[in-house]
Amino acid sequence: MSERGQAIAIVLARGGSKGLPGKNILPVADKPCTVWTLEAAQRSASIGRVVVSSDDEAVLEVATEHGCEVVHRPDELAHDTATIDDAARHAYEAIGSPDGPIVILYANVPVRPEGLVDEAVKLLIESGCDSVQSYARVGKHHPWWTVRVGDDGQVRPWEGDVLYHNCFRRQDLPAAMVPDGGVMAVTPEALMCRVGAPEGPHCFLGNDRRGVITDEGDVIDIDSRIDLVVADAVLRERRGGTTEHTEHTEAGKEGKKWGGDDDQLTHAIIGCAIQVHRELGPGLLESVYELCLMDELQRAGLRVLNQVPCAVSYRGRTIGTGLRMDLVVEDRVVLEIKAVEGLKRVHFAQLMSYLKLAQLRTGLLMNFNEHTLKSGIKRIVL
């Protein structure tokens, strides 16, 4: 069988989501989230058909507009405990159970490397395996550094008797990967559980399972508001900016106020922060990141102040202004800049205190001492 154009992409887009309602249809870099996956599938040389399975009429409408086949997913396969393989099997049978590789793609993954789908299909065909899945390097979240913390605060190894496997440098950790949601390619026999694989939730991946490796941050799976903001910023940067960004810059030169809501403003802020992190990387002083981010925000046309005094009142009188907020953007969003090993509760408490004292609602905690900035961004809304 020829590799080119023989695979069927099944895009799964369940309508419900507890973490981020309607995420598959939310705009990401000016397109509904699902569209990024549809376009990635349609660009892939190995894909001959693109099928969208969803219970969400808005998603199905978008899929139809983009020339895709649609399968209406029944309610029993659309709740939050339904399995993805059941939904994929339903879609596969609904289109007539055709021969050829099956590529399962998630609609809530707008960011994946170019060529990832074709790489997975090629490996599936050339190796004769049952399935190929994409995996990301775990980075600092390595299983050897996983622990148990008891009710008494006692720290114990997750497994074994030696804490951290007696390994304390990241570069000494053995390679470890986690599935990243970028792509799954399976044979029809594996998908239909006809290859004799042990029963279980991953039976549809068969016995001979292979993997392709992505770099940390190459794939963004949207499960939260922060994921959405980061994906938006990454995709905007990939296409080299937008008209909207230019308009913001011109508005900033004229001293106009930001015209969007807080969500749009935090999108813009995080995009600027990602740019700073890409330029500088981790390992510098907080003051360096603060000044560079301030410059980047101003270049984007945003009004920003740094080291803003934050008055403390007690029993109706001001007792001091020793507290200072790192950055305040558009008099609406407080940024607390960190360059630490990991964010702690006290950092969240500090930002919440600033928001309360300044009588503002939205804050961003940003730890630039991360390999990928996404891991160090936390959004707080009072």
Q: Judge whether 326 and 335 are in contact, CB under 8 Å.
A: yes
Mean pLDDT across the chain:
88
d(CA 128, CA 165): 37
Q: In this structure, what token pair is assigned to residue 221?
A: 């799976």
148 and 26 in a common domain = no
Beta-bridged to residue 71, according to DSSP, are 53
In a domain, 219, yes or no: no
Position 1 in a domain: no
Q: How many CB atoms lie within 10 A of CB 204?
A: 24
* Total number of domains constituting the chain: 3
Are 232 and 365 in a shared domain?
yes
pLDDT at 171: 81
The DSSP-derived string for 183-198 is EEEE-HHHHTT-S-PP
In a domain, 2, yes or no: no
Residues 300 and 333 sit within 8 Å (Cβ to Cβ):
no
Answer for the pair 105, 37: CB distance below 8 angstroms, yes or no: yes
Lowest average pLDDT, out of 120-134, 149-163, 226-240, 287-301, goes to 226-240
pLDDT at 380: 93
Same domain, 151 and 21: no
Identify whether residues 190 and 280 lie together within a single domain: no
What local confidence, expressed as pLDDT, does residue 258 receive? Answer: 57
| Cα 212 to Cα 337: distance, rounded to the nearest angstrom | 35
Is 239 domain-assigned? Answer: yes
32 lies in the same domain as 134: yes
Domain that holds residue 15: 7-139+176-214
- pLDDT for the residue 254: 40
Q: Give yes or no: residues 197 and 234 share one domain.
A: no
Q: Are 232 and 314 part of one and the same domain?
A: yes
Residue 230 pLDDT: 84
pLDDT at 233: 82
Q: Which is it for strands 317-329 and 333-338: parallel, antiparallel or unpaired?
A: antiparallel
The pLDDT value recorded for residue 319 is 66
Give the C-alpha separation, 373 to 274, whole Å: 6
pTM confidence score: 0.72
Q: What is the pLDDT of residues 21-53, one digit of tens each?
A: 889 999 898 899 999 999 999 999 999 999 999
Average the pLDDT over 190-208 and give the result: 95
State whether 330 and 348 are in the same domain.
yes
Rounded to an integer, what distance in angstroms lies between the CA atom of residue 17 and that of residue 13? 10
Residues 133 and 145 in one domain: no
Task: Determine the pLDDT at residue 348.
Answer: 93
Query: b/e per residue, 345-362, with b = 16+ CB within 10 A?
Result: eebeebbbebbeebebeb
Is residue 220 domain-resident? no
Residue 44 falls within a domain, yes or no? yes
How far is residue 51's CA from residue 11's CA, in Å, rounded to a whole number?
6
Of 183, 204, 62, the residue nearest 113 (C-alpha): 183
Is the domain of 207 the same as that of 246? no
Tens digits of residue pLDDT in 328-377? 999 999 999 999 989 999 999 999 999 998 899 999 999 999 988 988 99
Q: pLDDT grade, residue 246 (50/70/90)?
A: very low
CATH of residue 106's domain is 3.90.550.10
Residue 68 lies in a domain: yes
Q: Note whether 261 and 337 are same-domain residues.
A: yes
**134 vs 147: CA distance, rounded Å:** 26
Type of residue found at 63: A
Q: Is residue 189 part of a domain?
A: yes
Residue 180 and residue 164 share a domain: no
Alpha carbons within 13 angstroms on the beta-carbon side of residue 316 total 0
